[in-house]
Homo-oligomer: A and B are copies of this chain.
Amino acid sequence: MTRWLNADEQRTWRAFLHSSRALFDTLDRELQRDAQMPHAYYEILVRLSEAPERTMRMSELAEATSSSRSRLSHAVARLEESGWVRRKDCPTDRRGQLAVLTEYGFEVLVAAAPGHVEGVRSHLFDQLTPQQVANLREISEALLGHLDPERPLY
């Protein structure tokens, strides 16, 4: 009845599991060490920095960072304590809140980005051939299409 994994599938699954865990753990640890923030918080700053006025609705920001609303709410509370983000009421929907990247938050991000990008490059892209990188993208987009069909691919 159960479609068990054969030996090859099991090996693939375990390699994928442990390699992605190792990669994300390494990047998270580097970011924590060099910029005093977890990767999830870095992502929030990045998304805000790319948005018009460096401002986003909480719910959009939650979607953009694959985060639950609750998690984002807690995270923004902490980012506000650090002075990296501030909240503003949304003018068109009185339920809404806008998260705004502060100038200081932007500077912190600018300082953190080169180190993190270097980490992504050295631990991921430098380890793969161009063909493998293309394959990784194809695989990832196939999985996204199944698990999160709404998310835009770019």
Contact = CB atoms under 8 A, between A and B. Distances in A.
Interface of A: 1-5, 8-9, 11-13, 15-16, 18-26, 66, 113-114, 117-118, 120-121, 123-125, 127-128, 132-133, 135-148, 151, 153-154
A142 B137 contact: no
A19 B143 CA distance: 6
A73 to B, nearest CB: 18
Tell me the interface secondary structure of chain A in the complex.
helix
Nearest to A7: B154
Contacts of A135: 132, 135-136, 138-139
Contacts of A24: 20
A21 to B, nearest CB: 5
A144 B18 contact: yes
A141 B15 contact: yes
Contact of A114 (B2, B21, B128, B154): B2
Contact of A16 (B13, B140, B148): B140
B117 A3 contact: yes
A129 to B, nearest CB: 9
16 contacts: A2-B113, A2-B117, A4-B117, A9-B125, A9-B133, A12-B133, A12-B137, A19-B144, A19-B147, A19-B148, A22-B66, A22-B144, A25-B66, A26-B147, A123-B143, A132-B139
